Amino acid sequence: MVKTFPGWADIDKDVLRELLNVSQVIASQQGDREGLSIQVAKADGRKCERCWHWEEDVGVNGAHPTLCGRCVLAIRDIVI
Ligand SMILES: [Zn+2]
């Protein structure tokens, strides 16, 4: 039995990523196909030392070369 998820492609990708506890979500509509198809692959980027998500912005901030941008913002106010 195929279960359909109307409007699943409109779900916020960050919410879906957190819900699935994965580093990256790419959602696309495949023509007129119904149902949900899932492929699993290694995420792009590098692993963040703090959150363990694979992000493409790890190391962008030179002061925190092992952290992703989201973690840099999270620790910004607590680092002395
Ligand atoms: Zn991080």
Distance 36 CA to ligand 1 centre (A): 29
Q: Is the pLDDT of residue 9 over 70?
A: no
Q: Does residue 46 or residue 26 have the better pLDDT?
A: 46
pTM over 0.75: no
Q: Is the pLDDT of residue 79 over 70?
A: no
- CB contact set of 45 (below 8 Å; sequence gap of 6+): 23, 24, 54, 55, 56, 57, 58, 68
Closest CA to 50 of 41, 59, 62: 59
Distance 49 CA to ligand 1 centre (A): 7
Asked if 8 and 18 sit in the same domain, the reply is: yes
Distance 9 CA to ligand 1 centre (A): 25
Chain centre distance of CA 54: 8
Give me the pLDDT at residue 80, please: 60
Domain that holds residue 8: 1-42
Number of domains in the chain: 2
Asked if 29 and 51 sit in the same domain, the reply is: no
| Mean per-residue pLDDT, 22-34 | 77
Distance 3 CA to ligand 1 centre (A): 34
Distance 20 CA to ligand 1 centre (A): 16
Per cent of the chain over pLDDT 90 is 40
Asked if 26 and 48 sit in the same domain, the reply is: no
CA distance 47 to 68: 8
